[in-house]
Copies of this chain bind each other. A is one copy, B any other.
Amino acid sequence: MGIAERREAGKKRMQSLILGAAMKLFLEKGFDNVSIRRIAEKIEYSPATIYLYYKDKSDILFALQAMGFEKFYTEQQAILSEKDMWKRLRKHAKVYLSFALKNPEYYDLMFIMRGPVKKMKEKKEWEIGRRSYEFLKKNVKEYMDTGYLKKTNLDVAAFAFWSLTHGIASLVIRDRCIMFPDNHLNAIIEGSLDFVMESIAKKKQ
């Protein structure tokens, strides 16, 4: 391996060292309690060093968001094994929500936090987000084509599906469900999904 490549590899190594430490800290301490300085301390480098590998903090959040989208995209592939489109529609919602609630930090980065937005907009084409949306659309199209979803504009139906699942996820993650007793919340969430899905979907029989 040539010297330029080694340098490049070293750079990548350092970047993922930083990302790993950052994410670990976020999971342990929560976003509000993680600073560049703490990340630096964790990896035993000076704070200034981090700026040699990431332009600013928002750049780190953006990179972590990308990791979240990667994980999200991978886990979502599980729905494809379900060939019954009605069941897949339900599974789709379940998988979405389950990702959100099991990985609230990633979900927050992906769909709620302001931090990564600047970088998202800088990109002319924000591929990783686009890919997730295209996956959603592709499946919604199939739900529609197989007659389980009322026909309408594809973006409209996809956005409706997304809004519902995101709404649930973000209300829970951002602590807006405190009026429901903890032991009821799960049933309410499941019930809401059922309620809408079974109404939205024109269940053939």
Contact = CB atoms under 8 A, between A and B. Distances in A.
A164 to B, nearest CB: 5
Contact of A130 (B126, B150, B166, B179): B179
A47 interface: no
Contacts of A167: 162-168, 170
A159 B113 CA distance: 23
Contact of A153 (B32, B153, B165, B191): B191
A171 B162 CA distance: 9
Interface residues of A, number: 44
A163 B162 CA distance: 11
Interface stretch (A5-13, A15-23, A84-92, A114-122): A114-122
A66 interface: no
A145 interface: no
B174 A188 contact: no
A112 interface: yes
B171 A120 contact: no
A67 B155 CA distance: 35
Given A167-B165, A167-B170, A168-B167, A32 B195 contact: no
A88 to B, nearest CB: 18
Interface in A157-193: 157, 159-160, 162-168, 170-171, 174-176, 178-180, 184, 188-189, 191-192
A49 interface: no
B180 A155 contact: yes
A80 interface: no
11 contacts: A111-B176, A112-B112, A114-B174, A130-B179, A150-B195, A155-B180, A156-B191, A160-B164, A160-B192, A163-B164, A165-B167
Sorted nearest first, the 3 A-B pairs with minimum C-beta distance are A167-B167, A163-B167, A156-B191
Given A126-B179, A156-B192, A199-B199, 10 more contacts: A113-B174, A120-B178, A129-B179, A130-B179, A133-B179, A150-B195, A152-B191, A159-B188, A159-B189, A165-B167
